[in-house]
Chain A
Amino acid sequence: MHYEIIVVGGGHAGCEAALAAAKKNHKTLLISGRIENIATMPCNPSIGGSAKGIVVREIDALGGMMGKCADRGLLQIKMLNYAKGPAVRALRAQADKVTYPKEMLKILQNQDNLEILETMVEDLIIEDNTVKGIVTKNGEKIYADAVILTTGTYMKADILVGSTRRREGPHGEEPSNFLSDNLAKYGFKIIRLKTGTPARIEKSSIDFSKTKVENGDSEYRVFSFDDEPTYKIDEQIPCHLIYTTPETHKIILDNLNKSSMYGGLDDIKGVGPRYCPSIEDKIVRFKDKERHQLFLEPESLYYDDIYLQGFSTSMPIDVQEKMVHSLPGLENAKINKYAYAIEYDAIYPTQLKQSLETKVIENLFTAGQINGTSGYEEAACQGLIAGINAALKIEHKEPLILKRSEAYIGVLIDDLVTKGVRDPYRLLTSRAEYRLLLRHDNADLRLRKYGYDVGLISEEQYARLNKKIDDIDVLTEQLKNKKLTTLDNEFLKQYNSTLIKDGISLYDILKRPEITLDALIENGYISGEYSKDVLEQVELNTKYEGYIAKEMKEAQKLINLESKKIPEDIDYSKIKNLASEAKQKLSEVRPTSIGQAIRISGVNPADISILSVYLKKEYNYESK
């Protein structure tokens, strides 16, 4: 059997990778340990969130499917950070855990060039440092031109509850026992990471009167640039907020040594995520905090599990019972699934190129949790990029590499391959330098052209984008050309705005904080019809022009540095004068440009100077 591209793993990374490869007309095989678990959401029932919501928009702009699947099963949706400003707005939805995977599976099954196979992969076929296919647990060989590993937490997965450890993946599935050993054999550095998930509670056993209701937005919202909302505003399902009690804290502290992480197990090697500590971690580390906030989140319309957000733990089940029953409204709660921690193998991501192809084995790509990240959105976007780049590789084309100033996806991948990870990596807005450029609302303007160029965005979608761009230009021109005169001072008075003595353009008037584009439209200053998206773009670009220009200037500096390429065959050990730490770090990361080299910790400006001089001398590279 021979395919052009094999994707190993049917999670969020695998689905996007397989779809991208198949849409690009490559004969693709998606291998999953259990087909019924394809695209499931084994942890929280939400998609999006701060930064992550923007990633979902970016995936959609590039032609990925995550946003569309989420839109088809929204339990509730919110725009986060609305008041904090345009740079940090992001969507978060409670996505139905039954609908989402069903929709994704439907798309996969209807996709041309894509086959799905249920089996376990335990080895790769490698010839001349190039991947040629995979070997299943039964020893069957399947050949391919490129392979994408999206194994999630399934490599040597161990489920930890109290003092028990069982070799098992999420959903009780069989893990891959040998794949990571084989990867190590081929030269990969393997790390062990840990994450966890809280208990699921039977909805009917919760007394919601003791909780605070958290509703979705009262305005329609969707992730995808191509979708219309399919839900009803007032039919959104609420979440509920509660707090831990002193009793909860006492139970946890009294039983601390029973938690897997605090002595229940003495062989824990995995490093857990800082941003998502277990409840016992929170209580130990933040002793002075009297209570911790927890959310009760609905998982689906089709079954009654409530996800207890904020309460992840690796306590034994008898202690978990006591802990849950100490919470307000959960005194008589029935636990449907107990919380657990999971340890798994991942590859250290500095072994990857920016394209997500591994440096160790040619034509082998990896994406998602195997690369040390955490989160559905982080996985999906890597899957999409790996799928696109695996296809481009076998087409002998240049890979698609998004810059830090172009997309959160670019930030994520650059962080991974340049800095490596200490704990599972989550995207945060704080990780992006140019977040005013990387907004929720302009993801299509930033990225859709790339999606079109690689063949994932249709002509129709592309035409819609171009219409939007044209409209933005036309409206901006109108604002710049039309002038208010002293005759319009009545209008300004209405809005408590400073009166004018000379003519002043609408554009400059709009810069005033008290004047909105809506106000200009209502008072008849704007001619023509424009979509809400167009108005939003023009308003933001006008009001924040100064800040945007400042960020663009900074971004340009970085782009200039990134255009100074470092040849792939450079031998750092030959560069006299380079500090030994820099030599070691540069050899490990093998940055593709001076811009990337600067971001490696342990490489200082003097090393960069020496490297530039060396490049000029050995390769006659131009510095400009």
Chain B
Amino acid sequence: MNDTIAAISTALGVGAISIVRVSGNEAVDIVNKITKSKKLKEYESHTIHYDHIVEGDNIIDEVLISIMLAPKTFTREDIIEINCHGGIATTNKVLELLLTNGCRLAEPGEFTKRAFLNGRIDLIEAEGIMDLINSKTEVYRKLAMNQVSGNISKNIKNLRQKILEVLANINVNIDYPEYEDIEQYTIEQMSDTIRYIEKEVRNIIKKSENTQLIKEGITVALIGQPNVGKSSLLNCLLEKEKAIVTDIAGTTRDCVEGTIIIDGIMVNLVDTAGIRKTEDKVENIGVNKSIELIDKANLVLFLVNNNQLLSNEEKELLEKIKDKNYIVVVNKCDLEEKIDLTEIEENAIIRISALNNEGIEQLKAKIKQIFNLDKIETDDLSYLSNARILSLLNQSLEIADEIKISIENNTPIDMLEIDLRNLWETLGNITGDTYEDELIDQLFSQFCLGK
């Protein structure tokens, strides 16, 4: 419990200043590592300094750093506070760097808990802290786990299972050396395994939707037949004239992008060329691109005309998007209702009039609801868990690197096993899978042993 903890201690929002707080014996050392000046150790206690946070040679953010050394601090440990200016993405990056360099993400209420355990706050508050730990932890755990999206979590679990099988093989060779009919796991196989793991972890980092959510925001594709009002809707959302709006079908050929911020999360709007079966060559490229965009988008806004019946093409498109997150946006509600929506789930329908700027707030609320943005707004933890995941993935890569070096140095397999197990545990921390007796169970289910 003497380890150094870090957390973002202010509510997050784009553009706002946020503070990352670090507490523990190694606070100064760890933060120093990621500053440009590398001079933190020279400063006096209770002073503030202008500096930059760096990752290697890259400047991540321009910051103010407060140094408060024990014992006159909130936790009675060394505390460093980093005032970040660059918004959510960079604040997260700063946190991620801290975690990668040796901090542990603070549990809910942990700064307060430390303050108490170190005699900084009095006994009466203890009950409150216990309540806090109790009530927040469950929420925290669930959120943290939810943040590991289905796919990533599945990938990590698969990867861990692969490692576990290798570990079981190595351990069975060690614990049952007399079993000649069990394959001996070799250093060459270990090399292959490590390469495979590295590749997979890199893929996971790349694919991480969480990263995307925080760093790049949510991609929302506007689709619909020509002249249904996509560009007008885009303009309503962007509150400025950006897309070209005409009455002539098929004029929006390029995918015009714009970004809005809903509760601190970037929402990237992608307007597509009108999807319509066409022989026109130029337009055809646009149509193909639309279908491509549907695949890539986190959310599809399918715009239809209140004043017309659904065309066959529209029905086909509805079929195409039914497995995605989608909202059927019924535009032109200022006109007479001719559309038949009985086949569409009521919950997925939002009625607007882009012309009169009506229903836009409801649409934003719906987007919020789909991505649970309310939760993110009220609970910074989901951001934190993202930084946590990335730092653990990066740590995994570092361990893989070390193993590769060890293999080159002819390190015996029993040492490599130590690193491999460490890698397995690090990945396990992401999904919340703990050690227990998994390995022993795997050993006896994978291999046939006995006297």
List residues of chain A with CB under 8 Å of any chain B CB: 43-44, 50-51, 80-81, 83-88, 197-198, 214, 241, 243, 274-279, 281-282, 285-286, 289, 291-293, 295, 309-310, 312, 428-431, 435-436, 513, 544, 547, 550-551, 560-561, 576-577, 601, 605-606, 609-610, 612-614, 616-617, 623-624
Please give 16 more A-B residue pairs, beta carbons under 8 A apart, in addition to A436-B415, A613-B113.
A50-B177, A51-B175, A80-B178, A84-B174, A85-B412, A87-B415, A198-B451, A214-B178, A276-B451, A295-B178, A430-B439, A513-B409, A613-B126, A613-B130, A616-B116, A616-B126
Contact A87 B1 (CB under 8 A): no
**Minimum Cβ distance to chain B for residue A597 (Å):** 12
Q: Which residues of A contact B412 (CB under 8 A)?
A: 83-86
**Minimum Cβ distance to chain B for residue A272 (Å):** 10
Contact A601 B130 (CB under 8 A): no
B118 within 8 A of A: yes
Question: For residues 384 through 429 of chain B, which have their beta carbon under 8 Å from a beta carbon of chain A?
Answer: 409-415, 418
Q: Tell me the complex Cα distance, A43–B418, Å.
A: 33
Q: Tell me the complex Cα distance, A289–B448, Å.
A: 9
B449 touches which of A51, A80, A275 (Cβ 8 Å):
A275
Q: Tell me the complex Cα distance, A605–B113, Å.
A: 13
Which stretch (B13-21, B131-139, B235-243, B363-371) binds chain A?
Answer: B131-139
Q: Tell me the complex Cα distance, A272–B134, Å.
A: 40
A617 touches which of B110, B126, B176 (Cβ 8 Å):
B126
Query: Given A85-B415, A576-B130, are A50 and B117 also a contact pair (CB < 8 Å)?
Result: no
**Minimum Cβ distance to chain B for residue A323 (Å):** 15
Query: Given A430-B175, A605-B107, are A276 and B450 also a contact pair (CB < 8 Å)?
Result: yes
Q: Which residues of B contact A544 (CB under 8 A)?
A: 415
Contact A613 B117 (CB under 8 A): yes
The contact sample of 29 A-B pairs, CB cut-off 8 A, is A44-B451, A50-B174, A50-B177, A81-B414, A84-B173, A84-B412, A84-B414, A85-B411, A85-B413, A241-B180, A274-B444, A275-B450, A277-B449, A310-B451, A312-B451, A428-B175, A429-B174, A544-B415, A547-B415, A550-B418, A606-B133, A606-B134, A606-B137, A609-B113, A613-B130, A616-B117, A616-B126, A617-B126, A624-B118
Query: Given A50-B177, A436-B418, A606-B134, are A430 and B440 also a contact pair (CB < 8 Å)?
Result: yes
Q: Tell me the complex Cα distance, A268–B43, Å.
A: 72
Q: Which residues of B contact A560 (CB under 8 A)?
A: 1-2
Q: Which residues of B contact A279 (CB under 8 A)?
A: 450
B129 within 8 A of A: yes
Query: Given A50-B177, A614-B130, are A428 and B415 also a contact pair (CB < 8 Å)?
Result: no
0 or 1 for each of B1-33: is its CB under 8 Å from A? (1 = yes):
110000000000000000000000000000000
Q: When A and B form their complex, which 9 residue pairs have the shortest distance between CB atoms, in order from nearest?
A: A85-B412, A85-B414, A623-B117, A606-B137, A286-B448, A513-B410, A87-B414, A577-B134, A274-B444
Interface residues on B, range: 35 or more
Contact B130 A623 (CB under 8 A): no
**Minimum Cβ distance to chain A for residue B392 (Å):** 16
A-B contact count (CB 8 A): 139
Q: Tell me the complex Cα distance, A210–B137, Å.
A: 64
**Highest count of chain B CB atoms <10 Å: which of A43, A286, A613, A614:** A613
Q: Tell me the complex Cα distance, A312–B449, Å.
A: 12
B436 within 8 A of A: yes
Q: Tell me the complex Cα distance, A85–B417, Å.
A: 10
Contact B107 A293 (CB under 8 A): no
B336 within 8 A of A: no
Q: Tell me the complex Cα distance, A435–B174, Å.
A: 12
In this complex, what residue of B is CB-closest to A44? B451
Q: Tell me the complex Cα distance, A291–B180, Å.
A: 12
Contact B450 A80 (CB under 8 A): no
Q: Tell me the complex Cα distance, A53–B450, Å.
A: 18
Query: Given A86-B414, A430-B440, A613-B113, are A312 and B130 also a contact pair (CB < 8 Å)?
Result: no
Looking at chain A's contact residues, the main secondary structure is mixed
**Highest count of chain B CB atoms <10 Å: which of A84, A274, A293, A612:** A84
Q: Which residues of B contact A295 (CB under 8 A)?
A: 178
Contact B181 A293 (CB under 8 A): yes
In this complex, what residue of B is CB-closest to A309? B451
Looking at chain B's contact residues, the main secondary structure is helix
**Minimum Cβ distance to chain A for residue B294 (Å):** 42
Q: Tell me the complex Cα distance, A279–B180, Å.
A: 17
Q: Which residues of A contact B110 (CB under 8 A)?
A: 609
Contact A617 B123 (CB under 8 A): yes
Q: Tell me the complex Cα distance, A599–B210, Å.
A: 32
Query: Given A50-B174, A613-B117, A613-B126, are A43 and B451 also a contact pair (CB < 8 Å)?
Result: yes
Contact A623 B129 (CB under 8 A): no
**Minimum Cβ distance to chain B for residue A199 (Å):** 12
**Minimum Cβ distance to chain B for residue A569 (Å):** 20
In this complex, what residue of A is CB-closest to B140? A606
Q: Which residues of A contact B409 (CB under 8 A)?
A: 513
Contact B1 A613 (CB under 8 A): no
Query: Given A84-B413, A613-B113, A624-B2, are A282 and B133 also a contact pair (CB < 8 Å)?
Result: no
Q: Tell me the complex Cα distance, A293–B117, Å.
A: 57
B179 within 8 A of A: yes
Q: Which residues of B contact A291 (CB under 8 A)?
A: 181
**Minimum Cβ distance to chain A for residue B192 (Å):** 19
Q: Tell me the complex Cα distance, A282–B410, Å.
A: 36
B280 within 8 A of A: no
**Minimum Cβ distance to chain B for residue A277 (Å):** 5
B134 touches which of A309, A312, A551, A610 (Cβ 8 Å):
A610
Q: Which residues of B contact A624 (CB under 8 A)?
A: 1-2, 118
In this complex, what residue of A is CB-closest to B442? A430
Q: Tell me the complex Cα distance, A547–B405, Å.
A: 13
Q: Tell me the complex Cα distance, A295–B451, Å.
A: 9
B171 within 8 A of A: yes
B95 within 8 A of A: no
B127 within 8 A of A: yes
Q: Which residues of A contact B451 (CB under 8 A)?
A: 43-44, 197-198, 276, 309-310, 312
In this complex, what residue of A is CB-closest to B440? A430
Q: Tell me the complex Cα distance, A283–B358, Å.
A: 72
In this complex, what residue of A is CB-closest to B451? A276
Q: Tell me the complex Cα distance, A435–B418, Å.
A: 9
In this complex, what residue of B is CB-closest to A79? B177
**Minimum Cβ distance to chain A for residue B5 (Å):** 12
**Highest count of chain B CB atoms <10 Å: which of A275, A276, A550:** A275
Q: Which residues of B contact A243 (CB under 8 A)?
A: 181
Q: Which residues of A contact B413 (CB under 8 A)?
A: 84-85
**Minimum Cβ distance to chain B for residue A545 (Å):** 12
Q: Tell me the complex Cα distance, A310–B450, Å.
A: 6
Q: Which residues of B contact A276 (CB under 8 A)?
A: 449-451
B443 within 8 A of A: yes
Q: Which residues of B contact A44 (CB under 8 A)?
A: 451
Question: For residues 148 through 185 of chain B, which have their beta carbon under 8 Å from a beta carbon of chain A?
Answer: 171, 173-181
Contact A282 B174 (CB under 8 A): no
B116 touches which of A50, A83, A282, A613 (Cβ 8 Å):
A613
Contact A293 B177 (CB under 8 A): no
Query: Given A291-B181, A428-B175, are A281 and B450 also a contact pair (CB < 8 Å)?
Result: yes
Contact B180 A293 (CB under 8 A): yes
0 or 1 for each of B75-99: is its CB under 8 Å from A? (1 = yes):
0000000000000000000000000
In this complex, what residue of B is CB-closest to A605? B107
Q: Which residues of A contact B171 (CB under 8 A)?
A: 428-430
Contact B118 A623 (CB under 8 A): yes
Contact A431 B133 (CB under 8 A): no
In this complex, what residue of B is CB-closest to A291? B181
